[in-house]
């Protein structure tokens, strides 16, 4: 039996976890773009990307404790049971047990109602394999089954900086498919005018080694403002050339969160 007591506040048998914010909004990018979702934002990240659109919030924001059953109830009531773990970087090891209790609570809720749910991870890939292994190893502690979870879990892997290369993506995908189906993995690559050539080369390498099916790859414009995101002609061309998908970033276009 796992002991969360040192990591998670448990007042009167109610789990609480620290988040930078929890809010209902529209998923702005990737395969589930447009879907209403409950976002659980963790504060810290292992990287410090110059273009980070949550940098200011991460630097100046303060974590608050959120009561897990209330948070999950709200997500089912107002976001159709769609939950997005984001950040920051939700795969930092210090967040694993928080992720776990939220999933356990979603499971409890699902058991009562059999209502539909979905759990997404927005990650740069840092420790996503380790997090999946941790969940896989421990999920049966609370009578959840891995198949129940894997079918409703989406991983949005968006490598950045030095990790934006074929070997990193290949390694993560080949390890992740031990746990979840490949169609639950979405590779999201940010592109601007300066990186078109590099992304072109990367897509050629990924295709050559059959690292992941093309339908699981999305190219997205890099930028933190509507103006920066509006220059997408190069990205459309790249998508069409390589047979991969395009995603805009509607949360930035519409200044949603
Ligand atoms: S990995 Fe994502 S959250 Fe972390 S600094 Fe880079 S853009 Fe921001």
* Model pLDDT for residues 204-222, shown as the tens digit of each residue: 999 999 999 999 999 999 9
Domain presence at residue 86: yes
By alpha-carbon position, which residue is closest to atom 8 of ligand 1?
52
Domain presence at residue 142: yes
* Distance (Å, whole) CA 30 – CA 249: 8
Give the distance (Å) from ligand 1 centre to CA of residue 144. Answer: 31
With a 6 A CB cut-off, is 30 part of the ligand 1 pocket?
A: no
CA distances to 52, 96, 233 from 136, rounded to whole Å, are 30, 12, 41
Domain presence at residue 97: yes
* Model pLDDT for residues 123-136, shown as the tens digit of each residue: 999 999 999 999 99
With a 6 A CB cut-off, is 21 part of the ligand 1 pocket?
A: no
Number of domains in the chain: 1
Per the structure, the complete domain to which residue 140 belongs is given by 9-188
* Model pLDDT for residues 221-232, shown as the tens digit of each residue: 998 777 777 778
Q: How many Å from the N-terminal Cα to the C-terminal Cα in the chain?
A: 38
For residue 245, what are the β-bridge partners? 218
What is the largest distance, in Å, between two alpha-carbon atoms of the chain? 57
* pLDDT for 231: 73
Q: Is the pLDDT of residue 1 over 50?
A: no
* Model pLDDT for residues 95-111, shown as the tens digit of each residue: 999 999 999 999 999 98
Domain presence at residue 239: no
- HEC states along 8-39? CEEECCEEEEEECEEEEEECCCCCCCCCEEEE
Domain presence at residue 233: no
* pLDDT for 229: 77
Q: pTM for this structure?
A: 0.93
Residue with tokens 């190893």: 137
With a 6 A CB cut-off, is 93 part of the ligand 1 pocket?
A: no
With a 6 A CB cut-off, is 29 part of the ligand 1 pocket?
A: no
* Model pLDDT for residues 17-57, shown as the tens digit of each residue: 999 999 999 999 999 999 999 999 999 999 999 989 888 88
* Distance (Å, whole) CA 209 – CA 166: 9
By alpha-carbon position, which residue is closest to atom 7 of ligand 1?
52
* pLDDT for 7: 58
DSSP state of 211: -
* Count of C-beta atoms within a 10 Å radius of residue 127: 19
Domain presence at residue 160: yes
Domain presence at residue 33: yes
* Distance (Å, whole) CA 186 – CA 2: 30
Domain presence at residue 236: no
* Distance (Å, whole) CA 47 – CA 199: 20
Q: pLDDT-based confidence at 256, cuts 50/70/90? A: low
- The domain that contains 127 carries what CATH number? 3.20.20.70
């Amino acid at each position: 039996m796992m002991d969360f007591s040192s990591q998670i506040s448990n007042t009167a048998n109610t789990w609480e976890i620290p988040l930078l914010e929890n809010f209902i909004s529209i998923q702005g990018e990737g395969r589930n773009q447009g879907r209403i979702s409950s976002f659980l934002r963790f504060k810290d990240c292992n990287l410090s990307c110059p273009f980070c659109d949550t940098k200011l919030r991460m630097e100046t924001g303060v974590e608050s404790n959120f009561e897990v059953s209330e948070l999950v109830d709200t997500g089912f009531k107002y976001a159709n049971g769609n939950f997005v773990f984001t950040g920051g970087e939700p795969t930092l090891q210090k967040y694993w047990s928080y992720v776990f209790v939220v999933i356990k609570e979603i499971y409890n809720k699902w058991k009562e109602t059999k209502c539909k749910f979905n759990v997404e991870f927005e990650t740069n890939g840092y420790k996503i394999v380790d997090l999946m292994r941790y969940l896989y190893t421990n999920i049966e502690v609370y009578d959840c089954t891995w198949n129940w979870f894997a079918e409703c879990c989406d991983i949005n892997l968006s490598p950045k900086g030095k990790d934006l290369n074929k070997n990193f993506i290949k390694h993560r995908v080949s390890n992740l498919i031990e746990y979840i189906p490949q169609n639950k993995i979405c590779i999201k690559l940010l592109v601007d005018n300066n990186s078109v050539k590099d992304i072109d080369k990367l897509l050629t390498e990924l295709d050559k080694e059959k690292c992941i099916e093309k339908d699981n790859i999305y190219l997205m414009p890099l930028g933190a403002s509507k103006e920066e995101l509006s220059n997408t002609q190069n990205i459309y061309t790249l998508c069409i050339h390589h047979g991969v998908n395009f995603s805009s970033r509607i949360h930035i276009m519409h200044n949603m969160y």
